Structure formats: C-alpha cells, structure tokens
C-alpha cells in the first residue's frame, strides 16, 4: 500500500510537511498485518 500524508504545524500554519510511505502487509487467514514500511 502506498500513501502520502500532508500536515501542518499547530503553532505555525505556514509550516507544512509531507510523509510518503510504501507499506507491506501480509495476510494470515482472514486478517491482514502490517509488516514494514519505507518512508521516502
């Protein structure tokens, strides 16, 4: 799964950031579990 999260500072609205992650999951039976993620 890949996602990008955008955020801004609570104290300085002009301060913004971005987190881009590609995550791996594994399916075990009927459940999915997070394995790891690479932040880029």
Position 2 scores a pLDDT of 96
**Residue 23 and residue 32 in contact, taking contact as beta carbons nearer than 8 Å:** no
Interatomic CA distance for residues 34 and 30, integer angstroms = 14
Position 32 scores a pLDDT of 97
- pTM for this structure? 0.60
Domain limits of the chain? 2-39
Tens of pLDDT, residue by residue, the chain (40 residues) = 999 999 999 999 899 999 999 999 999 999 999 999 999 8
Position 13 scores a pLDDT of 85
């Amino acid at each position: 799964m890949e996602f990008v999260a955008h955020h801004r500072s609570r104290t300085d609205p002009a301060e913004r950031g971005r987190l881009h992650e590609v995550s791996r999951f594994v399916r075990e039976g009927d459940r999915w579990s997070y394995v790891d993620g690479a932040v880029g």
